[in-house]
Amino acid sequence: MTGRPVLQVVPTFAPRDAIGDHARQVDRLLKDHGVPTAIYAQVAVPEIAHLARPFQELAGKRDTGGVLLHHHSTGTAVVDQLVERPEALVIDYHNITPAALFEPWEPVVAAELAWGRRQLEVLRSRTHAALADSRFNALELRGMGWTRVAVAPIVRDLGRVDQRRRLPRVGAAPELLFVGRLSPNKCQHDLLGALALHRAVHGPGARLRLIGGASSSTYEKALRSLAVDLGVADAVSFENGLSDVELVDAYERASAFVCLSRHEGFSVPVLEAMRHGLPVVALAAAALPETVADGGLLLPRGDLDLVVAAVHRVTSDGATWAALSTAGLRRAATFHLEDARRSFWDALQGALEGC
């Protein structure tokens, strides 16, 4: 490490958010290594605003003499200012959802996402190195011509992985769970379709819990309307603002975690599900194969009949449930906080070489 301050820049700093939580862990990591550091946020949610400084404060300084670590996940005016600054710049790339997935629902968000990708071109010529929190994300940057890219994991405390074997939660009334914002790329509409088909094929016992706030109010409205049209409104719950305890309870009670996302840069909820011994059924898309690996059932296609067959198998066959639960626990155990801290630290040091 150069001994210079490492100043993190997070455009939107929020609690219970993958990037916000990661930035806080990185802040702690840097402080533990004696590196002067601070988090600068353009927008900070009041609950944790005291942990960050306003970005305007950084913008007002001519040269901090440090290194700027920018967390990039969408288009932001922050980038326009960062590229003009004299400090060495490193980005931590969390991926950007393809704008096409948002375009019909939220054109404003889509424009921001497209802007974010265009900003990567500007950042490429200005940035010293890039960190990417998955191999998928690193490949994407390399595909755009970035040369100094290292995979540095999300630093997140999943808590101790409780390796005790669970009793299979199988039966005629499975409770399916998905945790993630209501967002077109996460394809909750396919989950609703799968639920409807599951109930048509295997009886009306299955239920679905969708936990997470909405990234798109239009999409949320369409999902609620779709649930009514499909006749599953009574079998679906849209939940938001759960406490940590309530979320753990959701993982512990569910029969399976089903993820049909078309685009994920990493997916922390998948890891959390595995950490709670909850079998994971996921579409093999984007970074999900890398996150799930051998800890869950990866579907090669999102066809609803295949999804239903997979979910039915997992939630009706105790041996399969138990085997997937164990596989998930084993996989989650590889995401140990200390390992992630060490890997991130090594990657960051490598990225800062020659700064």
Query: Closer to other proteins at the Cβ: 51 or 151?
Result: 151
Compute the least distance from the CB of residue 83 to other proteins, in Å.
Answer: 25
Name the site residues for other proteins (rule: CB under 8 A): 98, 100-101, 103-105, 107-108, 135-136, 139, 142-143, 189-190, 193, 196-197, 200-201, 218, 222-223, 225-226, 229-230, 262-263, 284-286, 289-290, 293-294, 297-301, 303-306, 308-310, 313, 320, 323-324, 326-327, 330
The answer to whether the CB of 15 falls within 8 A of the CB of 76 is no
Residue 188's nearest CA partner among 82, 283, 322 is 283
Locate 55 and state its tokens.
């970005």
Compute the least distance from the CB of residue 6 to other proteins, in Å.
Answer: 28
Query: Closer to other proteins at the Cβ: 83 or 323?
Result: 323
Query: Closer to other proteins at the Cβ: 111 or 158?
Result: 111
Burial letters 220-257, b for 16+ CB under 10 A, else e: bebbeebbeebebeebbebeeebeeeebeebbeebbbb
Compute the least distance from the CB of residue 270 to other proteins, in Å.
Answer: 14
Residue 199's nearest CA partner among 230, 229, 177, 169 is 230
Compute the least distance from the CB of residue 246 to other proteins, in Å.
Answer: 27
Compute the least distance from the CB of residue 275 to other proteins, in Å.
Answer: 17
Query: Closer to other proteins at the Cβ: 177 or 299?
Result: 299
Query: Closer to other proteins at the Cβ: 253 or 301?
Result: 301
Cα(280)–Cα(272) distance, rounded to whole angstroms? 10
DSSP conformation letters of 134-194: SHHHHHHHHHTT--SEEE------------PPPPP--SSS-EEEEES-B-GGG-HHHHHHH
Spatial neighbors of 35 by CB under 8 A, at least 6 apart, are: 1, 3, 5, 6
Cα(101)–Cα(39) distance, rounded to whole angstroms? 31
Q: Which ranges in the chain belong to alpha helices (H)?
A: 18-32, 55-59, 77-82, 99-102, 107-126, 135-143, 188-202, 217-229, 244-253, 268-275, 288-292, 304-316, 318-333, 337-352
Compute the least distance from the CB of residue 56 to other proteins, in Å.
Answer: 20
3-class SS string, 110-131: HHHHHHHHHHHHHHHHHCCEEE
Query: Closer to other proteins at the Cβ: 139 or 242?
Result: 139
Compute the least distance from the CB of residue 189 to other proteins, in Å.
Answer: 6
Q: Would you tell me how many other CB atoms lie within 10 Å of the CB of residue 34?
A: 9
Query: Closer to other proteins at the Cβ: 25 or 255?
Result: 255
What DSSP character marks residue 108?
Answer: H
Query: Closer to other proteins at the Cβ: 31 or 165?
Result: 165
Compute the least distance from the CB of residue 304 to other proteins, in Å.
Answer: 7
